[in-house]
Amino acid sequence: MKNVPVSGTNHREPQQPGTLGATRVADILLEISDAGRPIGVTEIARNLAMSKAVVHRILQSLLSRELVTHSAGNGAYTLGPAAAAIGARALQSHDLRTNALPTLRRLQAETGETATVSSIAGSHRVYLEQVVSPQQVKMTVELGQLFPLYAGASGKAMLAFADDDLRATVLSRPLERISESTITDRAELEADLERVRERGYATSQGERLAGTVSVAAPVFWHGLLVGAVSVCGPRDRFDAATQERYGRLLVEACAAID
């Protein structure tokens, strides 16, 4: 996310100082969130076209309120416990989470596997809710944690149908390896996303977590992409036929979420 320099604002309708300050604070928090890793003052300033002095001043204010944390070792910042608390409260009241929960329960009952719902968070994704499999060997996910969009069925289900700008942003960055099965080649990933668009659902063979398989489909409200629903579990319970059956089931289930 790039901040518009002050010199580029409309001189007939100048941005008020308070509004500009709030915009800068929001941009810095979103930049730290989007990074998905510790990030330093110089990189934040460069990405947002701000001076390092302004970025440092805002970060000190955020640090005093525990909205960010700072590592003395490398001078980098990450989101702090106060930001996590705000995020957790937001997850609990998220409309998609509420509306998708009955669908997750039905999917879990029909498949016997863990069902999840995710949404896009900047250039990443976040799990909003899960209904865990009753089986002894099962998969669970971490709610509220950011994951890359390019790895895993839920991420690819959203990335395939995301707007061109977001997809270009994700694909322009290094595709870091999360597991041995993570797709790190851009051309291979683009081909996979094309297959997702053709059949309406995505699959992942341990791309984020080794030994697991997930199948996911996107959720649209009034034609707009809002998230993805998945079914996931151990690899030995997800043969090709099962993945195809779950894919069709998910496409139908997601179309009914409103």
Average pLDDT of the residues in 145-153 = 92
pLDDT > 70? residue 22: yes
Q: Are residues 231 and 111 in the same domain?
A: yes
Average pLDDT of the residues in 64-86 = 84
Q: Are residues 238 and 131 in the same domain?
A: yes
Is residue 128 within 8 A of residue 91, CB to CB? The reply is: yes
Q: The domain that contains 44 carries what CATH number? A: 1.10.10.10
Q: Are residues 172 and 76 in the same domain?
A: no
pLDDT confidence tier of residue 1, bands split at 50, 70 and 90:
very low
* Alpha carbons 214 and 115: distance in angstroms, whole number: 9
Q: Which letter, b or e, does each residue of 160-178 get, where b requires 16 or more Cβ atoms within 10 Å of its Cβ?
A: bbbeeebbebbbeeebeeb
Q: Are residues 99 and 13 in the same domain?
A: no
pLDDT confidence tier of residue 90, bands split at 50, 70 and 90:
low
- Total Cβ atoms within 10 A of residue 239: 11
What integer pLDDT is reported at residue 12 of this predicted model? 35
Q: Write the DSSP assignment of the chain as a string of letters.
A: --PPPGGGS-TTSPPPHHHHHHHHHHHHHHHHHHH-S-EEHHHHHHHHT--HHHHHHHHHHHHHTTSEEE-TTT-EEEE-HHHHHHHHHHHHH-HHHHHHHHHHHHHHHHHSSEEEEEEEETTEEEEEEEE--SSSS-----BT-EEETTSSHHHHHHHHHS-HHHHHHHHHS----SSTT----HHHHHHHHHHHHHHS-EEEESSSSTTEEEEEEEEEETTEEEEEEEEEEEGGG--HHHHHHHHHHHHHHHHT--
What integer pLDDT is reported at residue 111 of this predicted model? 97
Is residue 230 within 8 A of residue 154, CB to CB? The reply is: yes
Q: How far is CA 38 from the centre of its chain?
A: 17
What integer pLDDT is reported at residue 56 of this predicted model? 93
Last residue of one domain, picked from the residues 82, 106, 126: 82
pLDDT > 70? residue 136: yes
pLDDT confidence tier of residue 94, bands split at 50, 70 and 90:
low
What integer pLDDT is reported at residue 7 of this predicted model? 32
Provide the percentage of residues in the chain whose pLDDT is more than 90. Answer: 65
Name the domain count of the chain.
2
Q: Are residues 239 and 147 in the same domain?
A: yes
pLDDT confidence tier of residue 9, bands split at 50, 70 and 90:
very low
| Range(s) of the domain holding residue 216 | 94-255
Average pLDDT of the residues in 117-121 = 91
pLDDT > 60? residue 123: yes
Average pLDDT of the residues in 75-90 = 78
Residue 178 corresponds to which amino acid?
Answer: I
Is residue 41 within 8 A of residue 25, CB to CB? The reply is: no
Tens of pLDDT, residue by residue over 184-213, are 999 999 999 999 999 999 999 999 999 999
Mean per-residue pLDDT of the chain = 87
pLDDT > 80? residue 10: no
Burial class (CB in 10 A: 0-12, 13-18, 19+), 150: buried
Q: Are residues 251 and 155 in the same domain?
A: yes
* Alpha carbons 146 and 64: distance in angstroms, whole number: 24
Q: Are residues 56 and 127 in the same domain?
A: no
Average pLDDT of the residues in 114-137 = 93
What integer pLDDT is reported at residue 84 of this predicted model? 74
pLDDT > 60? residue 69: yes
Query: Helix 240-255 and helix 95-111: axis angle, to 10°?
Result: 140
Average pLDDT of the residues in 171-184 = 91
Beta bridge partners of 213: 205, 233
